[in-house]
Amino acid sequence: MTLGESSEDQIIERICSQLTQRSDILVGPGDDCAVVQLENGALQLQKTDCVVEGVHFYPEEMAERVGWKAMARVVSDIAAMGGTPSSMLVTLILRSDTKLAWLEALYQGIQNCANTFDFSIVGGETSSAPKDSANMLSIAGTGNVTKDNLILRSTANQGDTIFVTGRLGGSLTGKHLDFTPRVKESQWLANHCKPSAMMDLSDGLAKDLPRLAKLSNLGFLLDPQTLPISPNCTVEQALGDGEDYELLFTLPTQQVEYLLSNWPGDLTPLTQIGILEQRSETNTALDGGWDHFY
């Protein structure tokens, strides 16, 4: 059997179940980032990610935007745990016909993201790619988070309200390259109204919400009327396009009023889109069709 004939989630689940972890690893594979307990008890977030030519960006795309995207994806994952980015490592695997000007523009985008979110590029590796290969970037990053601010995917409770930031769908028209990771929103939430669970939306709500619910052994009820859909998009696009890089989070019902009354006006708007409920056969999947669950 090949990877193309398998489910990515199943493959990862199977492999990860065989990995052994030292006791300083509080959260291993399966959340937005790993959580490592350092010797003094402080927590560190660790994350790796990649963008691949022909998969995550077109060959003709401006390199500066590609560099921003590669970094911002990792920043978004760190934000999704309640953390802030600290340091990043950049691996580039590039064909020898890649133009130096392209590489310099790529690093401009990388540095722009580092300046915007106040982290350092601490190292990197450059390798040649064979002639017919796609160019690829792999980014590894660390982030800081306090014990109080740490938010996992797997700690939601039945009855919690489901929220998203921003608008969903249509990412391919441009947002997938120049999105703003929701660090400010995540920091406000972690400090003022801590979600019971959170993740960032990278594969689309139809894939990501079932994942979040499943990790708490819950199902969900989604209200399609309330979905914050991007201009000129359909509900299907909001559910399935992916690469929204918005926060998906859950909150105990009794905190909802406080959140909505106090959410700062200069942050990305929030939308209440449903609730988590007891897991059953009818409320655990969203295979491209949200209306199955209503």
Query: Are residues 170 and 240 in contact, defined by beta-carbon separation less than 8 angstroms?
Result: no
What residues are paired with 93 via a beta bridge?
Answer: 127, 136
Q: Which of residues 169-188 bind a copy of itself (CB under 8 A)?
A: none
Select the residue interacting with a copy of itself from 80, 140, 145, 218 (CB under 8 A): 140
Q: Give whichever of 113 and 251 is closer to a copy of itself, judged by the CB atom.
A: 113
Which region, left, alpha or beta, applies to residue 289 given φ > 0 means left and ψ of -120 to 50 means alpha? beta
100 binds a copy of itself (CB under 8 A): yes
Select the residue interacting with a copy of itself from 63, 71, 75, 93 (CB under 8 A): 93
The half-sphere exposure of 139 on its side-chain side, counting CA atoms within 13 A, is 31
Q: Is the Cα torsion angle 279, 192, 263, 201 positive or negative in sign?
A: negative
Between the alpha carbon of residue 162 and those of residues 116, 193, 235, 250, the distances in Å are 29, 14, 17, 5
Select the residue interacting with a copy of itself from 84, 142, 196, 216 (CB under 8 A): 142
Give the binding range for a copy of itself (CB under 8 A) out of 25-33, 63-71, 175-183, 256-264: 25-33
Q: Minimum distance from CB of 231 to a copy of itself (Å)?
A: 29
Give the binding range for a copy of itself (CB under 8 A) out of 124-132, 149-157, 217-225, 230-238: 124-132
Query: Are residues 251 and 160 in contact, defined by beta-carbon separation less than 8 angstroms?
Result: yes
Give the binding range for a copy of itself (CB under 8 A) out of 134-142, 225-233, 253-261, 271-279: 134-142
266 binds a copy of itself (CB under 8 A): no
Alpha-carbon distance of 276 to 293, in angstroms, equals: 12
E strand or H helix that includes residue 50: strand 43-52
Annotation: binding site for ATP = 107, 153, 202
Annotation: binding site = 32, 48-49, 56, 77, 107, 153, 200, 202-203, 243, 290
Annotation: binding site for Mg(2+) = 32, 48-49, 77, 200, 203
